[in-house]
A = this chain, B = another copy of it.
Amino acid sequence: MTDPTTTTPDRRPGGRTARIRAEVLAAVRAELAESGHEGLTMEGVATRAGVHRATVYRRWRDVGGLLVDVIEAAGEMDWHPPDTGSLRGDLTELNEEIQESLVERPSFAVALMAASFHSERAARAQSRLWEERYAQCEIVVTRAGDRGELPPGRTDARAVLMSATAPVYHHVVLLRAAPDPRLPERAATAAVAAAAAGAFLVRAGG
């Protein structure tokens, strides 16, 4: 994953290679959260991880390589969307998870977004991760349809998810407003109301 040309023999999960990667990426997350991507250096990461600098340079090459790998590692996490039994419940729980990741201080998620404004590679890796996460979440809308919570016809699952989650990112990350504990549920409720009214139905030819 990090460097397919490496001939290190021990690449099984739990092996030395995996352990070093885990230590280095934990250090990247800690450094990012503490001082942002501007404070991220190969030396700082190696020191914090207790790994030889030469190893870090050989496997990740530069700070951009570390950023891409830490984002890819987030995508490898065994994450599942909520399954509470209602669309409103699922979207509220999803929003609460998102809001929590954005308001914690220091926030690794916000540091990654800041980094992606300055590194094309990090931006692409982050777009891929988000694409994957939204794709994973489509099941939430599919299940709601199966339960009869949506009008007849095909509802655009991605549009429902965007409508529910975007206000949380907007409020916290872009507007930098004080977190509103009721926003996760309110944004979820609004998206459900719009979906129930057919606002996200895919029109023929649309």
Tell me whether B162 and A163 are in contact (CB under 8 A). Answer: no
Interface size on A, residues (CB 8 A): 41
Q: What is the distance, in angstroms, from A167's C-beta to the closest C-beta of chain B?
A: 4
Cβ-defined partner of A193 (8 Å) among B117, B169, B176, B194: B194
Contact with B along A181-206 (1 / 0, CB 8 A): 01000110111111011111000001
Find A127's partner among B38, B167, B175, B194 (CB 8 Å cutoff): B175
Proximity bits, A61-72, B CB within 8 Å = 1, else 0: 000000000000
How many chain copies does the complex carry?
A: 2
A159 touches B190 (CB 8 A): yes
Q: Does A27 count as interface, using CB distance less than 8 angstroms?
A: no
Contact A171 B162 (CB under 8 A): yes
Q: Does any Cβ of B come within 8 Å of A139's Cβ? A: no
> Distance in Å from the Cβ of A67 to the closest Cβ of chain B?
15
Verify B186–A197 contact, CB threshold 8 A: no
SS class of chain A's interface: helix, strand, loop or mixed? helix
Does A123 sit at the interface, judged by CB under 8 A? Answer: yes
Q: Which of B36, B131, B163, B169 meets A174, CB within 8 Å?
A: B169
The chain A residues found within 8 Å of chain B, CB to CB, are 36, 38, 113-114, 116-118, 123, 126-127, 130-131, 159, 162-163, 165-167, 169-171, 173-177, 182, 186-187, 189-194, 196-200, 206
24 A-B interface contacts by CB (under 8 A): A36-B118, A38-B118, A114-B118, A123-B176, A127-B175, A130-B174, A131-B175, A159-B186, A162-B167, A162-B171, A163-B163, A163-B167, A163-B190, A166-B170, A169-B170, A182-B206, A189-B194, A189-B199, A191-B194, A193-B194, A193-B197, A193-B198, A194-B197, A197-B197
